[in-house]
């Protein structure tokens, strides 16, 4: 072996040892789990169980588009909070230009929220037939 190869092995022996240790530990954990794991069978053993509640219904259940709309609105306003937090942290450095940029940003998001409210994107209950959006009844 040359001095160059010896230096390379000396430099990377810790990485090789780490990789061998990881694979050994994974094999040990999988082997111990298969040897020590429970083997009882039964009707209730094969049911999915989450937080003390036995699941009901089908996992392939369809959801209304409203759920996805609310999820998208949540992501949009969550990102808004991240940007405004970054602006609040650096408010002294960005000065009035930063304040104006944040105000424009909030105004655009507020305009989008008002638009969503006007087109009915935030209404959960379907409207009755023949009912105008301006008429509210208390029956």
Q: Give 33-63 pLDDT, tens digit per residue.
A: 888 877 777 776 666 666 667 667 777 777 7
CATH number of the domain located at residue range(s) 65-118 in this protein: 1.20.58.1610
Q: Give 3-13 pLDDT, tens digit per residue.
A: 888 888 888 88
Q: In angstroms, rounded to a whole number, what is the distance separating the alpha carbons of residues 25 and 104?
A: 55
CB atoms closer than 10 angstroms to residue 75: 10
Q: Tell me the average pLDDT of the chain.
A: 81
């Amino acid at each position: 072996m040359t001095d160059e190869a010896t230096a390379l092995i000396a430099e990377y022996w810790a990485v090789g040892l780490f990789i061998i240790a990881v694979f050994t530990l994974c094999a040990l954990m999988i082997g111990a789990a298969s040897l020590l794991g429970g083997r009882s069978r039964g009707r209730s053993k094969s049911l999915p169980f989450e937080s003390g509640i036995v699941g009901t219904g089908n996992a392939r259940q369809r959801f209304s588009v409203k759920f996805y709309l609310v999820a998208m609105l949540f992501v949009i306003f969550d990102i808004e909070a991240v940007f405004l937090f970054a602006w609040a942290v650096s408010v002294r450095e960005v000065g009035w230009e930063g304040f104006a940029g944040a105000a424009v940003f909030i105004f655009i998001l507020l305009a989008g929220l008002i638009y969503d409210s006007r087109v009915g994107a935030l209404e959960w209950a379907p409207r009755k037939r023949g009912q105008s959006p301006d008429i509210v009844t208390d029956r």
